[in-house]
Structure 1
């Protein structure tokens, strides 16, 4: 069984859509673990702030099926097919890690944004601080400690989704 890490983000009714994404992930994967939620300014375009978090789960699904399930969830919750990468969105689900798999297809793993975006790295470091990045060779806690925090503004927000109770 593979351990996967998933990035969730939204800047259109973000609490509503993050909750919807979490509920869908619970349905597919059963038990999930969640990082704290962080708010960040949009990256790559001018738009409303995003709420972001990282979730871990276990799965027997192959990478292709995991990605297909994420795309279906996004579409079900208002994401437009073929939407621009740098645009506002109801829900964005990205596979960050699939065990320690390194690949270029069907997606690049580990996801490059882990090392470049604070809104991915910080929640991942909170959820799996001792886990080692498969190509950087450093723990996520160490990568976050070394990250230039002046590059992107990011702050924790207190949101209780109440769905794991």
Structure 2
């Protein structure tokens, strides 16, 4: 079964929208292995709204195209206009992307699959370590995570596992 590694970002009401994103993702797959949640300044766009960013892993028998279709539906449900040609340069309530996927039995993640983005790579490396997976990359020192609550569980300050309620 494929194991998908996902990036999530929100800079419109992120403390409200990130829990909603995670709740919707739990309807697709459970459990979710979730990274620390990091507050970041926007990259590649002009905005004063800070992002909450995290990475996660989910196992699903669904094809990547179906997973992405479901992610797009979550983004639209939370208010993102996917028809706007400038949407990549605008504030967003939800941004959910597949970074890559591997077979669930893979224990070593190839370096070329690791993202370069400063808002994804550190939390992904920490998540891989939490999952007992290895990658030939140095685990950086991470900032204090942002805490949110979902299903009565506080997450965000360190990697954790979320299960459907």
Common fold, TM-score beyond 0.5? yes
2:75/2:96 contact within 8 Å kept = yes
For the structure 1 residues 25 and 164, does the alpha-carbon distance in structure 2 shift closer, same or farther, using more than 3 Å as the test? farther
Query: What SS does the corresponding residue of 1:157 show, helix, strand or coil?
Result: coil
Counterpart in the other structure of 1:158: 146
Matched, 1:86 2:89: yes
Query: What SS does the corresponding residue of 1:71 show, helix, strand or coil?
Result: helix
Higher relative contact order (CA 8 A, sep 6+): 2
Q: Which structure 1 segments of 5+ residues have no match?
A: 101-108, 133-138
User: How far apart are residue 131 of structure 1 and its match?
Assistant: 4.0
Counterpart in the other structure of 1:55: 56
Counterpart in the other structure of 1:77: 78
Q: Which structure 2 segments of 5+ residues have no match?
A: 104-111, 154-165
TM-score under structure 1 length normalisation: 0.76
TM-score under structure 2 length normalisation: 0.76
Query: What SS does the corresponding residue of 2:144 show, helix, strand or coil?
Result: strand
Once superposed, what is the RMSD of the aligned Cα atoms? 2.3
